[in-house]
């Protein structure tokens, strides 16, 4: 629909240009001849009108427009009529070919047009001789240069738009990958730990194994629910249930309970006055805590964890420490979206991020995120 509307507007504009040049030609050709001391003839105005009207379809058929214009202008000059407004029609025809056709095609077409136009220099009724070569060539070279420049600028802008669209698509894919990693990675780590516990207790203490299996069921359901919410946000589905809570620091109690069910006791400490955070900041802070606790579950071994949340003027800070052995990369393991993903999330919002081993044992993740204060 947009393309049809644009084509209709372009066609209307070209028709108006053609009519304007017809009017200019009809009004201006006579005075131009009088100024040069050259009389018009019977073919003068038909040729002027033909060259101008051809421009009505200049963008649809640029080569045909140039052919008609070249033939009309050459015949006009060969017959000895005065230099006048008809040359403006020729100028526009050459410009159109240079601006809307590939460079090689435009160069060949305009070269042929120049060769045909120069015929009047040698065989015209009022041949200007060799002195007429430069002015005649200028009526081709100048519009060709202008049209080529416009085409190159337009193509460069189109490439920039494609590159920007590709960059945005890549950024969106990375964002989706990070969200899915945070949701699925945490859930699977908890399920894996609970499954190990269930297998260990199945033959010895079936009732405790049943509790671990129940925790697996609950954790998998929570992970699926959170994944559904995440994908809904990613798709920006307006028809989705808007009551579904977006992940944020308000879900820390559920996250703490999930880790406790997997065998990692978590303490949450909050300082400062709680307040509503921007969605992006709230999500990033929650994901940092979630990923840090997931790493505790995966790598720290038997450990406890402490989450400290500090609300301060202009920022919110989160800190996760544990008493375990810290992350240990196995052979061939890549960093994935773990610490690198947390750092990218935080720095993208203008915050700071640090992570490292704690003297005496354990691991610490610390992030600050700027928060604009309401005026």
128/81 Cα distance (integer angstroms): 12
Burial of 71 (0-12, 13-18, 19+ CB in 10 A): middle
Rounded mean pLDDT of 56-82? 92
153/151 Cα distance (integer angstroms): 5
Q: By mean pLDDT, which of 110-114, 164-168, 174-178 is the weakest? A: 174-178
Q: Does the pLDDT value for residue 228 go beyond 60?
A: yes
Q: What is the pLDDT of residue 292?
A: 87
Q: What is the pLDDT of residue 30?
A: 84
Q: Does the pLDDT value for residue 163 go beyond 90?
A: no
**pLDDT higher for 149 or 242?**
149
353 dihedral zone (left: phi>0; alpha: psi -120 to 50; beta): beta
Q: Does the pLDDT value for residue 58 go beyond 80?
A: yes
Rounded mean pLDDT of 329-345? 61
**Helix 252-261 crosses helix 206-235 at what angle (to 10 degrees)?**
150
* CA angle at 339 for the pair 285 and 268, rounded to the nearest 5°: 40
Tens digit of each residue's pLDDT (9 = 90 or more) over 140-149: 999 999 999 9
Rounded mean pLDDT of 273-297? 86
What's this model's pTM, rounded to 2 decimal places? 0.54
Q: Does the pLDDT value for residue 178 go beyond 80?
A: no
Q: What is the pLDDT of residue 331?
A: 40
Q: Does the pLDDT value for residue 329 go beyond 50?
A: no
Q: Are 108 and 94 in contact (CB under 8 A)?
A: no
Q: What is the pLDDT of residue 189?
A: 66
> How sure is the predictor about 319, in pLDDT bands with cuts at 50, 70 and 90?
very high
Max avg pLDDT among 52-56, 217-221, 335-339: 52-56
Q: In Å, how far are 25, 294, 359 from 198, measured between CA atoms?
A: 93, 19, 34
Q: What is the pLDDT of residue 226?
A: 63
Q: By mean pLDDT, which of 53-62, 205-214, 261-270 is the weakest? A: 205-214
Q: What is the pLDDT of residue 201?
A: 67
Rounded mean pLDDT of 359-375? 83
Q: Does the pLDDT value for residue 270 go beyond 50?
A: yes
Tens digit of each residue's pLDDT (9 = 90 or more) over 3-25: 566 678 888 999 999 999 999 98
- Which residues are bridge partners to 293 per DSSP? none
**pLDDT higher for 100 or 299?**
100
Mean pLDDT of the chain: 80
Tokens of 90: 């020729």
Rounded mean pLDDT of 99-112? 94
Q: Which residues are CB-contacts of 36 (< 8 A; sequence separation ≥ 6)?
A: 82, 83
Total residues found in the chain within this entry: 375
Phi then psi for residue 246, to 5 deg, are -75, 145
Q: Does the pLDDT value for residue 180 go beyond 90?
A: no
Q: Does the pLDDT value for residue 349 go beyond 80?
A: yes
Q: By mean pLDDT, which of 109-118, 233-242, 304-313 is the weakest? A: 233-242
**pLDDT higher for 170 or 374?**
170
Among candidate residues 94, 105, 101, 73, the one with its CA nearest the CA of residue 145 = 94
Max avg pLDDT among 63-67, 84-88, 183-187: 63-67
The CATH-assigned architecture of domain 166-370 is: 2-Layer Sandwich (3.30)
Among candidate residues 361, 281, 263, 368, the one with its CA nearest the CA of residue 321 = 361
> How sure is the predictor about 321, in pLDDT bands with cuts at 50, 70 and 90?
very high
Give all strands of the β-sheet with 305-312 in edge-to-edge order: 266-271, 305-312, 315-322, 363-370, 352-357
Rounded mean pLDDT of 316-324? 91
**pLDDT higher for 183 or 60?**
60
* CA angle at 160 for the pair 155 and 163, rounded to the nearest 5°: 125
* Residue ranges covered by each domain of the chain: 2-127, 166-370
A 10 A CB-CB count for 234 gives 13
> How sure is the predictor about 332, in pLDDT bands with cuts at 50, 70 and 90?
very low
């Amino acid at each position: 629909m947009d393309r049809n509307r644009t084509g209709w507007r372009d066609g209307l504009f070209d028709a108006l240009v053609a009519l304007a040049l017809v009017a200019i030609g009809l009004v201006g050709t006579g005075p131009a001849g009088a100024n040069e001391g050259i009389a018009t003839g019977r073919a003068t105005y038909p040729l002027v009108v033909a060259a101008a009207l051809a421009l009505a379809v200049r963008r649809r058929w640029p080569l045909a427009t140039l052919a008609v214009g070249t033939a009309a202008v050459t015949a006009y000059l060969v017959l000895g009529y005065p230099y006048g407004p008809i040359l403006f029609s020729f100028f526009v025809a050459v410009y159109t070919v240079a601006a809307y056709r590939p460079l090689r095609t435009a160069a060949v077409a305009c070269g042929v047009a120049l060769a045909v136009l120069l015929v009047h220099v040698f065989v015209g009724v009022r041949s200007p001789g060799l002195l007429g070569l430069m002015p005649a060539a200028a009526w081709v070279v100048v519009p060709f240069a202008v049209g080529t420049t416009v085409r190159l600028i337009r193509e460069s802008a189109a490439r920039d738009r494609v590159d920007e669209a590709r960059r945005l698509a890549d950024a969106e894919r990375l964002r989706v990958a990070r969200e899915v990693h945070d949701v699925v990675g945490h859930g699977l780590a908890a399920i894996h730990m609970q499954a190990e516990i269930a297998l260990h207790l199945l033959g010895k203490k079936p009732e405790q194994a049943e509790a671990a299996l129940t925790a697996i069921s609950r954790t998998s359901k929570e992970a699926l629910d959170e994944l559904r919410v995440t994908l809904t946000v990613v798709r920006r589905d307006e028809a989705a249930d808007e009551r579904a809570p977006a992940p944020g620091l308000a879900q820390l109690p559920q996250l703490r309970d999930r880790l406790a069910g997997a065998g990692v006791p978590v303490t949450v400490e909050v300082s400062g006055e709680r307040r509503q955070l921007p969605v992006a900041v709230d999500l990033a802070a929650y994901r940092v805590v979630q990923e840090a606790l997931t790493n505790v579950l995966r790598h720290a071994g038997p450990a406890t964890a402490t989450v400290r949340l500090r609300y301060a003027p202009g920022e919110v800070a989160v800190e996760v420490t544990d008493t375990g052995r810290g992350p240990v990369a196995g052979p061939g393991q890549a960093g994935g979206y773990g610490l690198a993903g947390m750092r990218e999330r935080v720095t993208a919002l203008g915050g700071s991020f640090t992570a490292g081993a704690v003297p005496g044992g354990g691991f610490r993740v610390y992030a600050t995120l700027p928060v604009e204060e309401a005026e």
